[in-house]
Amino acid sequence: MKSLVIKNLKKYYGKGEQLTKAIDDISLEIEPQKFMAIVGTSGSGKTTLLNCMAGLNKPTSGHVYLECKDIYKLNDNELSKIRRREFGFIFQSFNLIPVLNIYDNIILPVNLDGKKEDEEYIMELVKSIGIEDQLKKYPNELSGGQQQRVAIARALSNKPSVIFADEPTGNLDSKTTEDVMNLLKTLIKKLNQTLVMITHDELIANQADRVVTIKDGKIISDISAYL
Ligand SMILES: Nc1ncnc2c1ncn2[C@@H]1O[C@H](COP(=O)(O)OP(=O)(O)OP(=O)(O)O)[C@@H](O)[C@H]1O
Ligand SMILES: [Mg+2]
């Protein structure tokens, strides 16, 4: 499994009086195959940090190393290849494509990578997620919980090493949150994946192997659960 290391990461927005130090010198080693939760108050810099780690937002300075390779030293083409092949993304709003049916939504990352999906793997994934009867439907025909399950399947469709999730259960009720979390935890265990998840939900953070708390763009606490 690939290691992800963040070194002296800074992301500043604006200038002069408008300057916001969204990320202010963060270094982290993300342990492979573990579940790391990122918590902190609104505006503390969680999304900015996650997006910088995931190759979606270029930092002002600092480094993000995937297997010792600085991803922001790569050209755009190589960086998007890493995003497509190594990373999976789950967001609070499910971001499914309305004109594609569920199956095509799930295999979108694979298709964007110019590949043919591993049908056997996709069907196994879809079954374990419990959406095998929904594949011909369109996103607007599914409930929020079902749509988030589809988004999880989509994030896993290219067998990424790291899943980045930004409050994936933020729009779900507590029962659906529990189902979605159990599913995600089971899948990442089975597929030996790393999960980095932002959450406001203490119950979810308690399930993580490690909880990193951010305040004003800095790490103020970093606690590992020794299970
Ligand atoms: N594109 C941007 N331009 C300017 N400022 C930004 C931009 N994105 C974020 N910020 C600022 O950076 C800070 C951190 O924002 P960020 O979205 O990372 O917070 P967050 O911890 O994810 O908050 P929330 O819990 O509300 O999602 C905030 O002060 C925000 O206003
Ligand atoms: Mg956020």
Q: Domain extents for the chain?
A: 31-57+82-224
Flag whether pLDDT at 81 surpasses 70. yes
The finding on whether 45 has its CB within 6 A of some atom of ligand 1 is: yes
Ligand 1 neighbour 22 (Cβ under 6 A): yes
Mean of per-residue pLDDT scores for the chain = 93
Per-residue pLDDT, 35: 95
| Closest C-alpha to ligand 1, atom 1 | 13
Cβ-Cβ contacts under 8 Å for 131 (sequence gap 6 or more): 102, 146, 149, 150, 153
pTM: 0.93
Average confidence (pLDDT) over 63-81: 95
Whether 35 contacts 208, CB under 8 Å: yes
Predicted confidence band at 226 (pLDDT cuts at 50, 70, 90)? Answer: low
Burial group, residue 153, by CB count within 10 angstroms (0-12, 13-18, 19+): buried
CATH of domain 31-57+82-224: 3.40.50.300
Residues 145-177 have pLDDT tens digits of: 899 899 999 999 999 999 999 999 888 888 888
For ligand 1, pick from 9, 24, 47 the residue to mutate: most ligand atoms within 8 Å of CB.
Answer: 47
Residue 105 is predicted with a pLDDT of: 97
